[in-house]
Structure 1
Amino acid sequence: MKKQYYTFGENPAGFSPRFISYDSEFVREKSYIPKLALIQLHQSDAQSAQLYDPLSEDNTPPWSSILEHQAPIVMHSGSQDLELMHLVTGQLPRSYRDTQLGFALIQPEQFASYATLIKHYLGISLNKEHTRSNWLKRPLTPAQLSYAADDVYYLSQVYPLLCADLQRLGRLEWWQEECERLLKQTTNNKSAYQWHRLSNASQLKGIETAIADILVGIREQLAAKQDLPRRHIAHDKLIITIAKARPITIEALADVLPANHILWTALAELTQRFAKLAKQTAYPTIPRAPRLSYQAHKYYRSLLKHTQQCAKTLNIAADMLITAKQLKQYCAQPDADSLLTKGWRAPLYANLLK
């Protein structure tokens, strides 16, 4: 296979009608909002990949051409790329295909890496040493740029082969459904970071959960305002320690939270929240899976067995059909809007649903 080339600093007027392979490099470890550092594009009829620098005023990505492109924008495991795209532009591509989702519909590995995909179809072992590079540092090295170009160049080679496999199995429409569902999930408002996601949150009881809830909320506000990682505002361990000390007034909080801590910059909010805490009688709890009655549990076991049998027959992961958690939720409270009742899954479960 001929070695690919890339062009850096060009912004063509448009693209051919074919699909566009897309990838992005970003850094999220040092900020609350991920920082987009590089955009890579390739079309199968082009000799070189196009690289765009979001940090440069002279080489901005052609967002409108990407978003309005009629043919699919192709990514691998693109949920974070879509999140960044939506964050930057407020929009998502008109048509989208995720090769990780497509590959999961033809074999049992649900979350196959990009390297696995390329090895499977092209027999090439990719060098991923630049995955954790500092993509925000300028200038980017030739090795980084070549690595970035590789990702979209090889994606353009694999996409038609994956399409052919899905066509052979009659699952192209399944793939389209899954990709459209991912787009909808990206545009839905994401819930705020909740206290029960803290490390060791299960150790908290009673009023401790309410205190953790307050501190997590303040941490989230400050992290967003100052664009810092949550851990730079307050580590989970500190929040758990304070919550277990049970300070129920702002004065008591001062005994366990260092005077120079950044959380005190939100003093007004802390004071207001702790004033309400004294009057609070019900405290938040960790969300649990629904408890099933004997009959509901029996129904759940039958659906789970059917799911596993279907997955084996289809040669895909059972979770691609539905997860155990989703099955339990359905059995506890059957919902006409469940995945089991929609699209390509519906015929597989039609005779079993209540």
Structure 2
Amino acid sequence: MHIHGLIEDSTALANLCARFATKPYICVDTEFMRENSYWPELCLIQIADDEEAAAVDPMGGIDMTPLLELMTNNEEVLKVFHAGGQDIEIVYNLTGKTPHPLFDTQVAAMALGQGEQIGYSNLVDTYLGITVDKGARFTDWSRRPLDKRQIDYAICDVTYLSEIFPKMLEKLRKTGRGAWLDQEMERLADPENYHNDPDEAWQRVRVSSRKPEVLGRLKALARWREIEAQGKDLPRGRIIKDETLADLAGTPPRKQGDLAKVRGLSPAWGGNDIGGRLMAALESAKPMSSDELPARDDRKPALGKDGALVADLLKLLLKIRAKEINVAARLLARSDDLEALAAGVRKDLSILEGWRFEQFGRDALELVEGQLGFTVRNGKLKMTRTEEPS
């Protein structure tokens, strides 16, 4: 493989992207800093196919258009990531679009029995038998110049990935599990996952109350904090911490001067501009409408004691089946689906559709309807049919 090193020239990047645009897939990774900012600061993009690899420096005025066009507008080239959520978010922040089509090797590993969140180092060791050098993990990628060891370390992330991806693809083809991942990959590529809507920011904050008045204030305060954080490019918690936000929503101050006594706020908030904006947000708050209120546990299908035991049996069945077919349990089914099935729900459940129904849902349905049961044979827990399905 030809390693280009660090690309800082617009023409060189355009030429590289023109070559990549003819390939079936490219592997992508990013290095970024976000400890001190709201928006992740993109410091490096690494990109490779099976023949060449490079790191692109976005901090020196290079024209990134060819690379971003390749990522978001070329439907012929598959974009391969590992645990790519934050990488995809960065592309979305730059373009308003997500890379598509995409493939995430961490998600694919779930279908191949390699755990629910296999780390990159373990993936490389599993497929290539190579121990990844972790010495540059804590590099400040925003500092310039980067030395050769740092650049080599960053590029290895995609060169290894370009070797792993074909091996993983071959395993998926042999096992017939490639189609299992289509829905998961499309979900990852959905732009809605990466849109920071201030009106939805309240859902990030834990609060025990479900009173419409409290949640209305929380929504207004979280929206205000999101706008402040975006405008100042500071982490949300640097503006005001979640627990303080929740306290203010539950026990709102009567006047701005009372902010000086709130734990987690500086006394200066009692008279400064940001304190004034916080109070304005509180004053504008309206009780949350009934259709926006989060679902309570008691609004879910009622399980009851017997239903809860059935849900536990379904979780046991899930554990057995996941082990039998060597797949991550979380890819097969979620707890909410199991509880809904135990409570009598028979529509709009992922385990009752497609490959999940074939691999798990059919047995789960027969278990709750009394056609399957558990038995112990030779010291091992097995499923046994109690009656023929209707």
**What TM-score do you get using the length of structure 2 for normalisation?**
0.76
Q: CA deviation at 1:241?
A: 5.7
Structure 1 distance, partners of 2:214, 2:176, is 53
Structure 1 distance, partners of 2:272, 2:19, is 49
Deviates more, 1:264-273 or 1:227-236: 264-273
Say if 1:52 and 1:126 are closer, same or farther in 2 by CA, change over 3 A. Answer: same
Code of the residue aligned with 2:356 in structure 1: it is: R
1:295-334 correspondence runs (5 A): 296-329=307-340, 331=342, 334=345
Deviates more, 1:207-216 or 1:221-230: 207-216
Is 2:95 aligned against 1:83? no
Residue aligned with 1:41, SS: strand
Q: Residue by residue, what CA displacement relative to the aligned partner does 1:96-133 show, whole Å, maximum 9, x if unpaired?
A: 11111111211241100111011011110001222232
Q: CA deviation at 1:291?
A: 6.5
- Would you say the 8 A contact 1:242–1:256 is kept in 2? no
Aligned pair partner of 2:78 in 50, 69, 72? 72
Structure 2 distance, partners of 1:234, 1:26, is 24
Q: CA deviation at 1:165?
A: 1.4
Aligned pair partner of 2:37 in 31, 34, 37? 31
Gapped regions of structure 1 (runs ≥ 5): none
Code of the residue aligned with 1:157 in structure 2: it is: E
Aligned to 1:149: 155
Deviates more, 1:224-233 or 1:246-255: 246-255
Structure 1 distance, partners of 2:288, 2:116, is 44
Aligned to 1:41: 47
Aligned pair partner of 2:164 in 158, 164, 168? 158
- Would you say the 8 A contact 1:14–1:65 is kept in 2? no
Is 2:359 aligned against 1:350? no
Residue aligned with 1:133, SS: coil
Q: CA deviation at 1:180?
A: 1.9
Q: CA deviation at 1:155?
A: 0.5
The number of aligned residues is 345
Structure 2 distance, partners of 1:215, 1:309, is 45
Gapped regions of structure 2 (runs ≥ 5): 370-390
Say if 1:250 and 1:105 are closer, same or farther in 2 by CA, change over 3 A. Answer: same
- Would you say the 8 A contact 1:19–1:74 is kept in 2? yes
Say if 1:36 and 1:280 are closer, same or farther in 2 by CA, change over 3 A. Answer: closer
Say if 1:297 and 1:189 are closer, same or farther in 2 by CA, change over 3 A. Answer: farther
Structure 2 distance, partners of 1:90, 1:281, is 30
Structure 2 distance, partners of 1:102, 1:92, is 19
Q: CA deviation at 1:57?
A: 2.3
Aligned to 2:388: none
1:75-224 correspondence runs (5 A): 75-184=81-190, 187=193, 189=195, 192-194=200-202, 197-198=205-206, 201-202=207-208, 214-224=220-230
Structure 2 distance, partners of 1:193, 1:125, is 40
Is 2:270 aligned against 1:271? no
Structure 1 distance, partners of 2:220, 2:344, is 31
Code of the residue aligned with 2:69 in structure 1: it is: S
Residue aligned with 1:112, SS: coil
Structure 2 distance, partners of 1:27, 1:178, is 27
Aligned to 2:61: 57
Code of the residue aligned with 2:202 in structure 1: it is: Q
Q: CA RMSD in A?
A: 3.4
Structure 1 distance, partners of 2:233, 2:343, is 41
**What TM-score do you get using the length of structure 1 for normalisation?**
0.83
Is 2:257 aligned against 1:249? no
Aligned pair partner of 2:348 in 331, 334, 337? 337
Code of the residue aligned with 2:303 in structure 1: it is: S
Structure 1 distance, partners of 2:280, 2:166, is 59
Say if 1:116 and 1:3 are closer, same or farther in 2 by CA, change over 3 A. Answer: farther
Residue aligned with 2:182, SS: helix
Identity percentage over the alignment?
Answer: 25
Q: CA deviation at 1:6?
A: 2.7
Q: Residue by residue, what CA displacement relative to the aligned partner does 1:117-168 show, whole Å, maximum 9, x if unpaired?
A: 1101111000122223211222222222111110001101111111111122
- Would you say the 8 A contact 2:124–2:131 is kept in 1? yes
Aligned pair partner of 1:293 in 276, 294, 303? 303
Say if 1:131 and 1:338 are closer, same or farther in 2 by CA, change over 3 A. Answer: farther
Residue aligned with 1:135, SS: coil
Q: Residue by residue, what CA displacement relative to the aligned partner does 1:167-223 show, whole Å, maximum 9, x if unpaired?
A: 22111111333212221375575663326635xx44x79777665555433222211
Q: CA deviation at 1:300?
A: 2.5
Code of the residue aligned with 2:229 in structure 1: it is: A
Structure 2 distance, partners of 1:285, 1:263, is 33
Q: CA deviation at 1:285?
A: 8.3
Say if 1:84 and 1:255 are closer, same or farther in 2 by CA, change over 3 A. Answer: closer
Q: CA deviation at 1:352?
A: 4.2
Q: CA deviation at 1:232?
A: 1.6
Is 2:24 aligned against 1:14? no
